[in-house]
Structure 1
Amino acid sequence: MFEQLVKVSEELGTEKPHRTYPFFLQKLVEEVGELSVELQIKDGITPTEKGGSDGVVGEACDVINCAIDVAWRALHEQNPDQSSEEIARLIMDICLIKREKWLSKVEGM
């Protein structure tokens, strides 16, 4: 299933003028902002009408999709001959390593 998410980045490719790191960063920040609003709504800080229809989970998924796109672009540039399946496996391997680091930080709090 994860390969399907990465495949979207491959299908979008790198040739379109807007498929740049500044564009990716802008979209990622935009999605993080929308996630922030949904979390504020969930915590009762912001009124419900300020949110969208995606909710916390939908916005978190948007953040994940943007982050996958950034990772795919970076790995594709390093080795343009890698398939989306190989890139997906590499992203997943790195995520598992980073997950362990995250767990050690959270457990140490």
Structure 2
Amino acid sequence: MHAIDKFRKTCSPGFILSDLPSEIETQVCNSFEEHPVKGAKAYYLRTVLHDWPDKQAVEILSRLREAMGPGSLLLIHEKAMPETNIPWMAAIGDMTMMTAFFSGGANQ
């Protein structure tokens, strides 16, 4: 949350985090439905897209695009993994996520 606190101080007023409840002013939403906040100054996704197959990731981005105004920014904070020569520790984290959540989680 440190990065979001820093970002919020830079961009306030008008910064709303659309995610699960936290210490920041939140707007809970379903990423696959119409976004409730229209024309915000910025939309921030932190480690969201990597959890979804391409089709669902495109749908999430499309819903945000529908909500954005002409001056809105989309800020994406993700881990980028190379297709080959992945660092060992990063690969373990990726495999843990896949095995822990893929069988019955959000990726179905």
Q: What range describes the TM-score normalised by the shorter chain of this pair?
A: under 0.3
The structure that is strand-richer by fraction is 2
Higher RCO (CA-CA < 8 Å; seq separation 6+): 1
| Bigger radius of gyration | 1
Larger fraction in helix: 1
